A and B are shown apart, each in its own frame.
Chain A
């Protein structure tokens, strides 16, 4: 049993899934589901299709080089079964997966860094430029404090209540 990678989207193909297409020059294309297969038949380039791993790696959205990828390289020599080896491999797979996920999260965080500052800058700029769509310019000139979104109002409620009570 071998877990293959889909030619189009690079996801793993588990046993019992997918279609294998063999071209006459003996190149084998494996697809994980009919979505990838149909895209292939439409002659779409996976490097241009946004949701594939190929696109994401090419455009720097996902990690490209990492030592954790070395463990998943294809090995063609079958290993003799050794129970200890199998047990250790299973444990290692879990750990390597965790490390890989952590590193991907870090990569994503690094990619998204500076987004909050950028959004804040854009918001303040928009406020400066387009406040006239919300408040009339005449009103803004009268009270410059109106340009700020927060306005503090003193509540005079207890004195009025006393008045009513007196009457």
Chain B
């Protein structure tokens, strides 16, 4: 049930994202449509947790991989959060890329659905789990990063990723 719910919400989000210019009127009407389509109230009341073994993550750079499965969260007994590095196995890759399917790579979590507390007391959370592949030294393998990234990365010394990012949340 929750899996169906998450796919529904991602469909909804991508629908709203693809509408392009976000005039509030348009956004509101799509909201209306979604409620009229009978979305239940139990949709997004999921408890989001850490990124742990077997977690699928989206790859948001142009290193060639598309999906990656976490096999180890470095640092953290319960799992990785926003800004942490993980070891992952490439599950799906583009045909001509720098990484191939089945490779074991390092990655930095740049978007996590679990909220992370900021030093000013507020919390931030994203829509999905996304990762940027890096090498052992922490330098990104790809040359572009898509989507918003948090500025927690600055503290973790992933400055290169921040420079490549198109939007810093």
Contact = CB atoms under 8 A, between A and B. Distances in A.
Interface of A: 1, 13, 15-28, 38, 41-45, 47
A133 to B, nearest CB: 44
B127 A22 contact: yes
A43 B39 contact: yes
B127 A24 contact: yes
Given A27-B22, A43-B31, A45-B31, A22 B124 contact: yes
Interface string B72-101: 000000000000000000000000000000
Contacts of B17: 23-25
Interface of B: 12-13, 17, 22, 28, 31-32, 34-35, 39, 41, 43-45, 111, 115, 120-128, 147-148, 150, 166-167, 169
Contacts of B39: 43
A23 B17 CA distance: 9
Contact of A17 (B35, B122, B125): B122
Contacts, number: 75
Contact of B13 (A19, A24, A45): A24
Interface residue SS majority, chain A: loop
B167 A20 contact: no
Nearest to B44: A41
B129 to A, nearest CB: 11
27 contacts: A1-B120, A13-B122, A17-B122, A19-B115, A19-B123, A19-B125, A20-B123, A20-B125, A22-B126, A22-B127, A23-B13, A23-B126, A24-B13, A24-B17, A24-B127, A25-B17, A26-B147, A26-B167, A26-B169, A27-B22, A41-B43, A41-B45, A42-B41, A42-B43, A43-B34, A43-B39, A45-B35
